[in-house]
Amino acid sequence: MPSPEEDRSLGRLGALARRRALVYPVVLAACAIPRLVTLVADRNDVLLPFTLGEKSDDIARTYLESGTFGFIPGHPTAYTQPLYSYFLIPLYWSLGRTWEVVGGAQIVVAAATAVIVYELGRRWLGGTTGVVAALLTTLHPYSIWHDVHVNREILDGLLAAAIMFVTLALAARRSLLLSAGLGVLLGVAILGNVRLSALPFALAAFLLWRWRPTTPAAFWTIGVALACCAVTLAPWVVRNRVQVGCYAITTDARALWEANNARTLHILRRGLWIDNVPLPASFPPSAQDAGREYRRHGKVVAVDECRQMRFYRHQVTDFWKAHPGEKALLAGQATLMLWSPSVSPADTQVGAAGWLNDLRASVEPFYMLPLFLLALFGLTRVPRSFAVLAVILLGYQWLVAMLFVGATRYRVPWDFVIALLAAAALVDIAARVRARRGAAP
């Protein structure tokens, strides 16, 4: 772990790190300037979806038109996690649905994420490491482009950094207030990304390990976090039972089926996304399909989301039981896609073939490959508890990717963990080099 003496040995960067009043403007400028340039340059594509439709954007527009949280007025839905829709709704209502509004708001979110990453590094790894980690996170080529377009992962990154910060603070000092805050953060994060549903239990295991020997007070603290997470989720889950017909965070089990069927591996190996998996004619249209039909032709198609959810879950479990070898290959493919330094899979966004997108995709591997290598070394240069939590967070994303599917845009919200580890490695290497130069005759 870098000491204050090491910060002082790193020249101008170390001097900057010791002056927090200067760090924030530097980090905020590094975040905002390239994103503003990208926003203006790519303004015609900012509101276009990355895949075959951004559900949250469709729902936000329907909500403003009719007051219905759904794809069709008068037909409520639970077909997606609600957080990003509720982020867009007040923006559209107050300022309008424009590229300036969406891009500007998301740049603010990206800036907040960069500041939290800096504070993470400053508090647990040293001020210089915090500065470097914040810069590595916010200057990530994929994020610069991705953050200004309509995408729910922008909120995932902010919540992920906050979750890691509060978890480390709670591990250092048991507190019911911190525990409750962590539970609320986890609940909100799950409302933005249902794939995080088991993360509270992974963090609970980390905290119990950190607090060895455990006491009844430790279990009470964990219980408060889990209870607050459940309370945060409860209104949305109950709303779905009342308005849609079943207890669920999302009824979109078709996405899970698209990632787990006999045709998925072929589609992914061609560099396409799971939205391109052909749907058998016998399968019913989804709530999103019904929404498209309504917008194009004004036709209302009845959809039983809860029944479809159970149907697709059954299809997935049957596939796993009947084809375990195929599932193992899919898990390997997901691993390659998740950890590839190149962008994966190929974008299916309309207009994604623009020069700015091509530039981002070509630069990405040259940026991420050194970060991956530095992060591996960084694991040996950070406190053990920090390293364990980093492995848990990244390992959890890896496990979920193997169950579902991997993609760069799913990994990017958690790349700040890689940046923190890489920053610790860079600071350590720089300190060693300067020390050797100082010792040389």
**pLDDT tens digits, residue range 64-109?**
999 999 999 999 999 999 999 999 999 999 999 999 999 999 999 9
Q: What is the pLDDT of residue 12?
A: 60
Three-state DSSP at 75 gives strand
Instruction: State yes or no: pLDDT of 11 exceeds 80.
Output: no
- Predicted confidence (pLDDT) per residue in 327-383, tens digit: 999 999 999 999 999 988 755 444 444 666 677 778 899 999 999 999 999 999 999
Q: Give, for 2, the enclosing helix (H) or strand (E).
A: none
- Predicted confidence (pLDDT) per residue in 36-67, tens digit: 999 998 888 888 765 445 799 999 999 999 99
Q: What is the pLDDT of residue 356?
A: 65
- pLDDT-derived band at 14 (thresholds 50, 70, 90) equals low
Between CA 220 and CA 110 the distance in angstroms is 34
Q: What is the pLDDT of residue 349?
A: 47
- Mean pLDDT is lowest, of 260-269, 273-282, 423-432, for 273-282
Between CA 198 and CA 387 the distance in angstroms is 20
Instruction: State yes or no: pLDDT of 440 exceeds 70.
Output: no
Single out the residue of 347, 320, 341, 342 nearest to residue 402, CA to CA. 320
Alpha carbon distances (Å) from 364 to 21, 344, 418:
31, 11, 15
Alpha carbon distances (Å) from 45 to 136, 163, 237, 351:
26, 31, 34, 7
- Predicted confidence (pLDDT) per residue in 145-166, tens digit: 889 989 899 999 999 999 999 9
Percent of the chain whose pLDDT exceeds 90: 74
For 201, the token pair is 């239990």
Q: What is the pLDDT of residue 354?
A: 63
Three-state DSSP at 259 gives coil
Query: Are the beta carbons of 131 and 21 closer than 8 angstroms?
Result: no
More confident residue, 433 or 243: 243
Between CA 150 and CA 351 the distance in angstroms is 14
Give Dmax over CA atoms of the chain in angstroms: 83
Q: What is the pLDDT of residue 271?
A: 85
Q: What is the mean pLDDT of residues 8-37?
A: 79
Mean pLDDT of the chain: 90
- Predicted confidence (pLDDT) per residue in 107-123, tens digit: 999 999 999 999 999 99
